[in-house]
Amino acid sequence: MQIVEKSNEGLSRVFGVTVPMSDLNEALDARIAEVTPTLNIKGFRPGKVPTAHVRRLYGKALMSEVIEKTLNETTQKVLEDNKLRPAGDPDLKPEGDMNAVVDGKADLAYEIAVDVMPDFEPVDVATLSLSRPVYEPTAKEVDEAVAELAKQNRTYEEKTGKAVKAADGDMVVIDFLGKLDGTPFDGGAAEDAELVLGSGQFIPGFEEQLIGAKPGDETEVNVTFPENYQAENLKGKAAVFEVKVKAVKSPVDAPADDAFAERLGIENLEKLRDLLKGNLEKEYAGASRFKLKRALLDQLDTKHDFPLPPKMVEAEFNAIWQQVEQDKEAGQLPPEDAKKSDKKLREEYHKIAERRVRLGLILAEIGRANNVQVTDQELGEAMRQEAMKYGPQAQQVFDLFRQNPNAQAQLRAPIFEDKVVDLIVEKAKVKDTKVSKDDLLADDDMPEGYGDDEAPAKPAKKAAPKKAAAKKAD
C-alpha cells in the first residue's frame, strides 16, 4: 500500500492511497476460501464447490466486500500512522475505474479528505467566576397558581331561560361541517364538539361569529384559513362552516378548597399549595441553570481562540440554515430576521455555527481531560424517556434507538454536555445573586457580533396536527 500526503492546509488534510490489485486479489482468494465451506449450491456436495465456480458466481460481490473492508482498514491506518484525531468522518473519493477494481484488474486508488481536531489548551475552569441568578416564588405566585389551576378545572353548566345567548367565555356544544366551494373537505366535520368562545381553539374568526348564538341555531361561519396552516390544501382558502348550536353552557369556577384538592387526588389544599410551589421552584431553578450555563458558555467562547474544522462548521451552519429556510417558507421567521437580507442572515448564522462548534470542542476537551463519561444506564434512561413520547409506538422506537448508533449519539451528546457543565460549575467560583422574576425569565441577547439574539438559531416548534380542520395551527 502506498500513502502520499497531497495537502496540508490548516486543519484540513488530504491523502492519496493506492492498494495494489495483487493485494485485493489475495484478499479475495482468502474470502472465497472462507465462504466456500458454508455454501450449499445445487449439484455440489457441501464444502466441495470448486473455487473457480464460487469466483464466477460470487466474485464481484465478494470483491466489493473486500474493497469496503480495505477502505475502512487503510483509512484507519492513515489516521493512526499520522497520529490524527479526525473532526468527523473522513471523505473518501475513489479514483480511476472502479469497475476494473471490482473485476480485479486495477489497483484501488482513492483520496482521503479529513479535518483534524485543533490543538489547544482549555482554560483552567477553576479560574472562572460566574454569577447564578436565583429567585424564590412568593406566596402571591402560589395563590395565582392555585387560582389558575381552579380556572383550568372549572366546569360548565347549561344555561337556561328564555333568552339564552352565548357570550365570550361560554362553552358551546356544536356540530359543524366545513366546505370549500360548496364541497366538504376531510377533517372539516365534527359532532358534539365543545368550544369555549375566546379560547383561540379554532382558526381566527370562527369563535367570534358564534357570540350571541342560541341553542338550536343553525348558522354559517365564514372564515379564511391562515397562510401557515398545517394542511397544504387549506392554506389561505376561504371556507364556510355549517354550524348547529346544540347547547350553550356558562363557566362555573371551582372554589380553591380542600374538596377541590381532593378532586385532583391531593390530600388537601395545603398539600396542593406545596406541590405547586415545588413546581414553581423547579421552573425557576431550570431558568437559573439556563442563565448560568449561558454565562459559562459566553466566558468559554471569549477565552478561547483557535482554528475550527471547516467541514464541522459548514455542517453546523447547513443544519441551522435548513431550519431558517423552513421557517421562512412557513412565515415563522422572527420579526427582526424577516427584515434582513439572506446575505446578512447567512453572516450571522455562520458566526453562530462557529460559536457552537467552538464551544462543542471546548466542552469535549474539558470532558476528555476529566474523564467525563456517559454511562449505559444514563443513555438507556434517555432512550426510554424519548421513546415514551411516542405512546403506543414506544417499544418500537426504543428498539430503533438500540439498533442505531447515530440516534444514540444524538441522545448521548446533550447528556455529556450537561455533565461537563456540571463539572465546570462545581470547580468554578459561583456566586448566587438574587434577581427579580422578570430578570430571571428574560431572554438573553447574544454577545456582540452574533446578530441580535440567539433565538432565531433555535429550531422552531412544528405545528401539531389537530383533530378537526377548524382548529388552528400552533
Residue type at position 134? V
Q: Please give the pLDDT value at position 456.
A: 34
Provide the grid cell at 51: 473455487
Q: Please give the pLDDT value at position 265.
A: 92
How would you list the strands of the sheet with 91-95, edge to edge? 2-9, 12-19, 108-115, 91-95
Q: Please give the pLDDT value at position 453.
A: 42
Q: Which CATH class is domain 266-457?
A: mainly alpha
Q: Please give the pLDDT value at position 448.
A: 66
Q: Please give the pLDDT value at position 462.
A: 30
How distant is the alpha carbon of residue 40 from its chain centre? Answer: 48
Nearest to 17 by CA among 89, 85, 67: 67
User: Which CATH number describes the domain made up of 155-252?
Assistant: 3.10.50.40
Output the pTM of the full model. Answer: 0.70
At a CB cut-off of 8 Å and minimum separation 6, what does 48 contact?
Answer: none
What is the rounded CA–CA span in Å between residue 217 and residue 222? Answer: 16
Q: What is the DSSP letter of 460?
A: P
DSSP string, 32-43: HHHHGGG---TT
Q: Please give the pLDDT value at position 171.
A: 95
What is the rounded CA–CA span in Å between residue 298 and residue 364? Answer: 16
Q: What is the DSSP letter of 226?
A: -
Q: Is domain 2-115 in CATH 3.30.70.1050, yes or no?
A: yes
Reported as a single tens digit per residue, the pLDDT across 98-140 is 999 999 999 999 999 999 999 999 999 999 999 999 999 999 9
Is 441 strand, coil or helix? helix
What is the rounded CA–CA span in Å between residue 170 and residue 211? Answer: 9
Name the stretches of the chain with pLDDT < 50.
452-474
At a CB cut-off of 8 Å and minimum separation 6, what does 415 contact?
Answer: 374, 378, 379, 382
Question: What would the 3-class secondary structure string for 82-116 be?
Answer: CCCCECCCCEEEEECCHHHHHCCCCCEEEEEEEEE
Fold matches, 2-115 and 155-252? no
Cβ–Cβ under 8 Å, residues 77 and 34: no
Nearest to 17 by CA among 85, 87, 92: 92
Domain spans of the chain?
2-115, 155-252, 266-457
Angle between helices 342-369 and 310-329 (to 10 degrees): 130
